[in-house]
Each structure stands twice: as structure tokens, then as C-alpha cells.
A and B are shown apart, each in its own frame.
Chain A
């Protein structure tokens, strides 16, 4: 016995009261949003508030109400296409659950909170920051931020932490999303950005999709992949489930969760054995091939098949197609990255790209598909625990000096690197962090082993949340400050291709709500530490960001709002100055990285990759299994992910009626072979249990999943949350949690769960 799972709360009555008061309730179109023939006052060209594709769209606005959306056909990435979330995103604005005031915890009030004057909430927050930092030290107050924010806000959050609060402890929810890809890319290429624009997918001979449920998580990319297939591309999909993009692929590799490195090592071994590698490219443009070749030698097709659970002939076919292709595109997402060895997985995938020599040319590409709206820009400019703007490092003395110079402060006063988001929670649990401010982060739903997260949050002396809705995490707050929706503010984001685009404001904040950056600056002012935090607009922040990023790897210095608008976005790097004899980037910046002869500030002309010698790195990727493998007691693999109609922790999408109607509740997906053994039929209540928690949901019995694996989507809260079960094991380099593998046991439920009759599906 490995110790009993911790008991979990069963929707205590206060929770139900909070739900009654603050939702999530469902919004549907009515009045001006439903009537035909209503002429909007204006159409605002902007982008979706959800995923990293950042589809261009127009918001129809009438009387400070977003009454609908209209395709923006000219925007080149999506040409008017939108997924269901984009079409219905307007229902989040003027929502009945929208926070119009500040709130403070008051157990005597209905829902556990009472309204509070905005100024009082700011004063209280500043006072508590002052008290906690004076009593326990600067680092005892932490910040959690997010990658759905504009780049301007992420820049401000980093500056607020490092210059105003001087706390080392700021991190962001991209820690749960993009960091394995980022670390792997930096180790292999020296830069963390998709190497190619999506147009390079069209015309590729072979497209390898690894751990990316493209049709549900990045729907617009489906059209790129399938258009390439119309033109003759072969599509290979690696996934434990036959997702909609896998349904018609040319080769499906049903990898056992957590074994991806073994697969790519096996493919590389076959490429080397058959000389399906580009020896000239390897010799001229890479370092480390021999060590990698030695490492993968033992990965015979037979051994690869035994570890990955993929048939030998499929592995051989994949290696042959990939090895002999003239052009190719490899893309991956969280399926490859959400592992305690996520960086290894990413580097093993990059190894087969580098060995093929197919990068830096038209139709020869590689990319990670970003998850959050600003998954790219949000990880570049200083809200990561070890980072300064421009992709600079907080631990690097030259970088500290440059940024401190821009900010007008002594570099010695900048804190040293802090810890990752989950470690911040552990530090709260251990009493080392006493105060927390979170913005754009819903840890109670989104972090793994969230029963532990809840316990930790209850130990805080002070917790301030900035949000537009009372998220499940905000219920743990001392004070909630009413922030802004994406459509209530302006700025830039950087979408999945590395294209910097404009978010335009459509409506004003309602009630006492403010743009998030004003709230942060109001706190700084109340602290009497407003130096450097007196921006009058996001445009002013962007101008300073240009300077702060100048000369860094993520160089935005040549980008302006005007240039973005004129060119449907600008791809970074886009420096404002380059040395004599080096060509300036074109009007669209740098759509494709690593082109032969290209210049960058690290290699300085030595080669196209971002290392002093200009060469890419093949990294040795020894296979390591998941942190928690199955055993007799917990014999089934649990993997988690998304559905198309919901987004992340659901704080927004679980309030949009038509999206909830599409998929009201999570189900446990399992193969009929497993279901039969467990005596479960489709639609039955089933209980999944791990060493950390349990969850009772209806079963969905389908042949489109490996029989040794069950799948639960993670967008729901409380007793429906998949993250009650997941493990907080993290990658040692990227610190990403292992959402994609843990061990569970599953049985038919004794009875319907208590929540079935007491709360609505989305609650």
C-alpha cells in the first residue's frame, strides 16, 4: 500500500454559495446580440482571446457591447476561419458573472465575499505587501502571471516584480505549457521560437505531428496540414489517441504515453543505418552528432517497439518516409512536452530534424504549436522566474546591467532568479512565501495534484487575485481586484509563428474594473515605489519594451504598432539596427529562422544558428520513463488534454452557454477492451483514482484510444477536475509538470457522484 489518497472536499456549502453568487453561469445571446439586422457602431479588427493561433477577427460593437464577431478575411494566417471558441468569445463580455467591483473575503456575506471600494482594495494590497516583505523579506511575496496577457502586460509584470517588489519569486502559467519546448529549442538552436511560418507546411513532402491534437487545440492548423496532404504530403501522427487529425493520416504511431524519446531515438537509428541523413549539413552546421549516434545505436526497431508500444513496421515506415523526404515539417505540442523528461523528448524530435538537414529553407520546417494566446510573447520579456526582457537571463551580469540601465536602477538591486510556479506553491506550503498576487492564472484548476494546491493557498497570509471573473482560485483570495478582458484593453501578442500582432480595444471596462496594467501601477503607487511604473498607455510600455529587448535574442526594437498594422504582423527578431553589410529584415521581420547566410547577434555571421559558432546542437537524449509508471495497484495510464469547445481552466469558456452545450462535462475515455474487463459500458459512472485523488465521471467507451490508457480533459474544476489525479513530478530543466502520464486504477462507480444533482455541468 502506498498510503491512502488524500481525501478531497465534496463541494462544501460555502463553495456552492460562491457558485450561486459568482458562477460559472451560462451566457447566451439575447437582445442586440440575438436580434437580426442590428447595425454595429464599429467593427474592431483584433484577434481571438484564446489559443496561440491568434486568429484574426473583427468584433462587432454597439453601445459598449460586443454583439458578435465577423470574419476578417484579409488576415493571412486564418483568412476568416475560426473555431467555435472564437465565434462565441463575445459572450464573455458583459457577462452576468463579470466582476464589477473589488471584493474582500467575508464569510458572513453571501458567497463568502463582500464588495470593497477599489481604492481601499489597492491600499490594503499595498499595505500587506509592505508588511509581508518587511517582516519576512522581499522574496516572501510572490507573483503568478500568465501567457494570455498582452506582451506589454507581461513586460510590466516582470518589471513590477524585479524592480518594484524586488522579489525573486515571479513565474507564469506558461510553466504548464511551453517551457519544455522553449528549453529544448534553446539547447538545440539557441533561440526559442517556431523556426518557420505556417506557409512552410504547405508543400512539405512529409509532415510529422507529435503529441499535438491539432484539430481540437489548434483547429486552424488542420487546414494547413490537410492542404499539404492534398498536394501530396504524407502525414504521420504520433499520439496515444486517434484524434480527428489522426483519423485520416497516412501513418499513425500510437505511442504509449511517456515513451516519445525512445521513438525518436529509434527513428534516428534507422536513419543513420540507412544513410537517410544529410552528412554535409551535419558536418557544416551542427555539433554533437557522434555522441547522439552512439546513444541511439541500441535503439533497434525491436527495442523501440517494446518500449513505445508501436509496431515495428510502423516505426520502420516512419523512419523511411522521414528519412527519404525532400522537404518536411515536424510539429509538436503538449503531448510531447508535458513530461518529467519533456525537454529530452523535444530534443530527440529536433535531432531527427537536424540529422535530416531540412531546416531554414522553404517547406523545411520545425515548430512547437503554442497553447496560450500569447504563449510565445508571454515567455520572452521577463515574467519567467529566470528572465529579463528580450529573452535575456536574470543570472547573466551583462544582461542585468543592460536592463537595469533601461530601467534606471542599480543592477545589484535586481533579485537573482527565483523558482518556478509549482515550487512557489510548495514554498507557500512550507511557509517560505506568505503573500501572493496572481493575474491570469487559475492554479486550483490548472496545476497538477490540485488538492495539494488548495491546501497550500489556504496557508497564505494574504492572497490578491486580479481577474474579470471569480475563478476557482479567486475563491481562496483575501482580496479580488476587477481586471480587464482582452477586448477591454490594447497591446500586442506574439502568435504561434512568432508573428507580433495587435490586440485592439473594442469596449471599456465596466464598473470599477480597470485594465490590469493600471491596477499593477496603482499598487506600485500606493507602495510609494512607482518609479518606472507610470506608463500612460500600453503603447508607452511597448516603446520601452523595444529598447529593453534591443540587442537580445527576442529583439523587438524594429517593431512598431504602425509596422504591425501595415504588414499583418511582424515576425521577430526584428532589430532596429544591424552591423554594416548585414541586410535589415524586410517589412514583415524574420518569418523564417536559420536561413543560409543569415545573421544573428550571437553567431555574428558565423552561421545561422544562435550559438557563437553558428552551429546547431544535437543533444544526447537518453530515454527515461515516466516518473510514475503503472504497477499492480495502479495499473492504467492516465493522460490528460483538451476538448475543442473549452479553453485551459475554463474560467472563460465554462461561462459561454453554446460552448458548454457542446461538451458539458468531462468523461473518462477508455477502450472497449479495458471497459469490458472493468465491467463498464458507455455512459456508466466510473471512478478513476490515483495516489493523489479520485474523480467520478461518465465513461466514454471508444476504440480510438490505447487499451492501456485512459484520457480525461482538464478544463473542469472541483470534483470534476482531472488534476486531482495528476502528478506534480516536473522536468528537471524546464520544470513543466507531467500532465501526460500518471498511474491510476479505474472501477465502475458505486453510485453517481454527489455533484451530479447539486451543481450544473460547467460548475
Chain B
């Protein structure tokens, strides 16, 4: 059963309290027990208690899958990008290096890339993912867009991100202040950099027409 379209994932970093409930919850996920797929960091502990949690954003056109030479990373039609398929993954690390959000993790002892699959065992049967279930401040939340609009009137969900010339649309939303414009800082606009000089990486940074879903 696919993850229902109406239910979406929202990351609201302004609410994060750094408690690591998400990390502990992630290790309880039945698809990768004992391993957390979440990255949670202090931004600058010397000056603030601000922390930021990152789960997989589940790109429409996942860079990880695009750079995979073994075609091991699949995105199901409900938009979930899955852990590499064990028989195919050659543990080359391409996906780890290419992901703009730093999500995939290489499990060297298993020779396998693992990543957040939005608790597919739960979400595909209508349950919330573990991290968004547990998160005490609901910095990680799972529900409908309408519910979020009602509960968080000062924020809006964003799911389009610009990395150089690459525009990324994701299934997961990040909540940003409603009234401020979303600034896309395009570093490449200000630097002299016609090409990186490596064909494969150049391609990644091209705004590429219709690559379609993997």
C-alpha cells in the first residue's frame, strides 16, 4: 500500500529542542533497527542551543538515484526514495557524496547504503513515521497540509530548493516564516565557474530537462 498522498512530512527547525527523540525513535524503525538515519546537529553550540534535524527530503528527482551506477536506489510512485537494494548496491559512495542534503549513509560493515525511507513499514499502512510520532516539540511533524496551515499560521511549507543550477523539488517540506520571501542564494551567480571540469558532476549541476523519476 502506498503512503497516502494527503499525508505529508514537515520539518520545522525553529521548533527543534535537540532532545534526540527522533534519533532514538529512528533506531526503532523496523526497516533498519538499531541504526539512526537522522542527522541532528547544533548549528553553533558556543552561541545557541539551536539544533537542526534532517531526515531524507525524498526528492522528486533524487540525485542519489541519478548518480547510482548500479541503479540500486528506487523511488516508489508514492514519492518515497528507498534504501539501496542490497543485491545491487556496490557501496561506491556516489550517492553519499552527491546528495545535496547529506542524507544517505554508507554502512561499511554491510557494504550497503542506507537512508531514511520515511518508515515505509508504518507510513504505507497509514501510521506516522517513528520520528514524527515521537518528536516532543513537533519539529518533525506528519499530517495534512490543511492541518499544518491551521496549526502553524505563521509558517509556510517550502519544498523547492536551489543548489547551484540544480533545482530540487522534494516530497518533504521545510517550514519557513510565512511573511518573509524565500531567498534562494545562488552562489554560482557570483563566481567565475563555467564548468567544474568533470562531465558527470557538471551534469548534476545542470538544470537538466525532464530527467523524470528514477
Contacts and interface: CB of A to CB of B under 8 A. Distances in A.
Interface residues of B, number: 35
Contact of B49 (A231, A244, A662): A244
Interface in B130-174: 133-138, 151-154
B192 interface: no
A672 B17 contact: no
A81 B138 contact: yes
Contacts of B48: 242, 247, 703-704
Interface string B92-111: 00000000000000000000
A702 B152 contact: no
A87 B29 CA distance: 12
Interface stretch (B19-27, B79-87, B179-187): B19-27
Given A88-B24, A662-B20, A704-B48, A81 B133 contact: yes
Contacts of B123: none
Interface stretch (A215-223, A512-520, A540-548, A601-609): A215-223
A69 B30 CA distance: 12
A216 B19 contact: yes
Q: Describe A's contact surface by its main secondary structure.
A: loop
A701 B66 CA distance: 43
A71 interface: yes
B45 interface: yes
Contacts of A272: none
B34 A242 contact: no
A128 B25 CA distance: 47
Contact of A36 (B33, B47, B50): B33
A562 interface: no
B47 A87 contact: no
29 contacts: A29-B34, A36-B31, A37-B30, A71-B134, A80-B128, A81-B136, A82-B21, A84-B19, A86-B21, A216-B17, A219-B17, A219-B21, A222-B136, A222-B137, A223-B137, A226-B15, A226-B138, A230-B151, A230-B154, A231-B153, A243-B49, A245-B17, A248-B14, A644-B19, A658-B24, A700-B45, A702-B46, A702-B47, A703-B48
Interface centre among B136, B137, B153 (most CB of A within 10 A): B136
A29 B24 contact: no
Interface centre among B30, B33, B154 (most CB of A within 10 A): B33
A34 B33 contact: yes
Interface string A727-758: 00000000000000000000000000000000
Interface string A61-72: 000000011010
Contacts, number: 116
A115 B70 CA distance: 59
Nearest to B152: A230
A73 B27 contact: no
Contact of A35 (B27, B33, B133, B152): B33
B42 to A, nearest CB: 10
A247 B20 contact: no
Interface in A682-707: 682, 700-704
B137 A34 contact: no
Contacts of A71: 128, 133-134
The 3 residue pairs across chains A and B that have the minimum distance between CB atoms: A219-B136, A215-B17, A244-B17
Given A227-B151, A230-B151, A87 B135 contact: no
Nearest to B15: A226
A94 interface: no
A53 to B, nearest CB: 9
B28 interface: yes
Interface of A: 28-29, 34-37, 68-69, 71, 73, 80-84, 86-88, 215-216, 219-220, 222-223, 226-227, 230-231, 242-245, 247-248, 644-645, 658-659, 662, 672, 682, 700-704
Contact of A222 (B17, B134, B154): B17
Given A68-B28, A88-B24, A219-B21, A34 B134 contact: no
A74 to B, nearest CB: 13
A672 B135 CA distance: 32
A36 B134 CA distance: 20
A230 B153 contact: yes
Contact of A87 (B14, B24, B128, B137): B24
Contacts of A219: 17, 19, 21, 136-137
Contacts of A700: 45
B21 A703 contact: no
Contact of B136 (A68, A82, A88, A672): A82
A576 B184 CA distance: 64
Contact of A220 (B34, B136, B151): B136
A87 B28 contact: yes
Contacts of A35: 33
A220 B136 CA distance: 5
Nearest to A656: B24
Contact of A244 (B18, B25, B152, B153): B18
Interface centre among A28, A80, A227, A244 (most CB of B within 10 A): A244
Contacts of A243: 49
Given A81-B133, A84-B19, A69 B28 contact: yes
B133 A80 contact: yes
Given A73-B133, A219-B137, A703 B47 contact: yes
Q: Describe B's contact surface by its main secondary structure.
A: loop
B128 A36 contact: no
Contact of A658 (B27, B49, B137): B27
B14 A223 contact: no
Nearest to A88: B24
Contacts of A244: 16-19, 49, 51
A369 to B, nearest CB: 14
Given A216-B17, A230-B151, A662-B20, A223 B47 contact: no
A489 B20 CA distance: 29
B20 A645 contact: yes
A36 B33 CA distance: 6
Nearest to B46: A702
A69 B154 CA distance: 34
A231 B151 CA distance: 8
Given A82-B134, A83-B21, A222-B136, 6 more contacts: A37-B30, A215-B17, A242-B48, A247-B48, A248-B14, A703-B47
Interface in B47-68: 47-51
A56 to B, nearest CB: 12
Contacts of A87: 21, 24-25, 28, 134
A93 to B, nearest CB: 15
Contacts of B25: 82, 87
A80 B152 CA distance: 20
A706 to B, nearest CB: 15
Contacts of A220: 136
B134 A81 contact: yes
A701 B46 CA distance: 6
A32 to B, nearest CB: 10
A223 B49 contact: no
A73 B128 CA distance: 10
B14 to A, nearest CB: 6
Contacts of B33: 29, 34-36
A36 B21 contact: no
Contacts of A644: 17-20
A321 B152 CA distance: 23
Nearest to B36: A658
Nearest to A701: B46
A82 B138 CA distance: 11
Contact of A83 (B128, B136, B152, B154): B136
Contacts of B18: 215, 244, 644
Contacts of A247: 48-50
Given A216-B19, A644-B19, A223 B134 contact: no
Contacts of B134: 71, 80-83, 86-87
B20 to A, nearest CB: 5
Nearest to B154: A230
A642 to B, nearest CB: 12
B49 to A, nearest CB: 5
Contacts of B20: 84, 644-645, 662
